[in-house]
Amino acid sequence: THCISSAASDVYKRQVMVTLMVPSVATFVPLFVIISNMGLANSYAALILPFLCQPIGVFLMRQFISGIPDALMEAARVDGAGELRIFFQIVLPQCGPPLATLSILTFLSSWNNFLWPLVAAQTEEKYTLPVALSLYSTGQNATNYSVLLAGAVLVVTPILLLFVFLQRYFIQGVAGTGIK
C-alpha cells in the first residue's frame, strides 16, 4: 500500500504544480462566466469565493501535514479516536504556523488584487480600496496626490497590522517548511 500511496502522492504533486503554473489571466474569463452564471456578479461573494482555496495553500498545508509523525495518529487510533477527532485535536493544533503563513499570503494576494475586483464589482459600493483609490485619485487631466497618498496609507495599514500580529507564526511557518 505504501507504493500505491507514493504513486498517488506523486500524481497529486504534479497536478498541483501544473495548476500553479497556469497564469491567473488564463482563468480570468472562465471564472467570470462561472461567477455570473451563479448569479454572484457584483457581490462580496464574487470577490471572496474564487480566492479562498488556492493551489499554493493546498500544497503548503499538505506538505506541512505530511511532516507530522504517523506515530501520533496511530496512537490516537489505538486509543479509539476517530478521524475527525484526530484532525481537530492532533493535526489542527500543530498547524498554527502554516495557517498563519497561508492567511498572510492569501490576504495579501486578495488585498492587492486589482483586475478581478475591477471587473467583478460593478458598482462603486463594492469596489475594493485599491480599485477605488485608482479611480478616485486620478482626474481627467491631473492626479490628486494628496488623495493618492492618503489612500495608499489606508491600503497598506491592514497588511502591516496583519503581518505584525502574525509575524512569529509566519517566520515559524516559512522556516518549518524547509526542515524535513
Dump pLDDT digits (tens) for 28-68. Answer: 899 999 999 999 999 999 988 888 888 888 888 888 888 88
For residues 147 and 137, is the Cβ–Cβ distance under 8 A?
yes
- Asked if pLDDT for residue 142 goes beyond 90, the answer is no
Q: What is the mean pLDDT of the chain?
A: 84
As a whole number of angstroms, the distance between CA 19 and CA 39 comes to: 26
pLDDT at 178 over 60: no
Q: Where are the alpha helices (DSSP H) in the chain?
A: 2-21, 28-37, 44-48, 55-66, 70-78, 83-86, 92-94, 96-111, 115-120, 129-137, 145-177
Q: What is the pTM of this model?
A: 0.73
Instruction: Please write the tens of the pLDDT for every residue from 15-30.
Output: 888 888 888 888 889 9
- Residue 73 in contact with residue 90, Cβ under 8 Å? yes
Interval 105-130: pLDDT, tens = 888 888 888 889 988 988 888 888 88
Neighbours of 166 (CB within 10 A): 19
pLDDT-derived band of residue 87, with 50, 70 and 90 as boundaries? very high
Q: How far apart are CA 46 and CA 117, in angstroms?
A: 8
User: Which positions ≥6 away from 176 have C-beta within 8 Å?
Assistant: 64, 97, 98
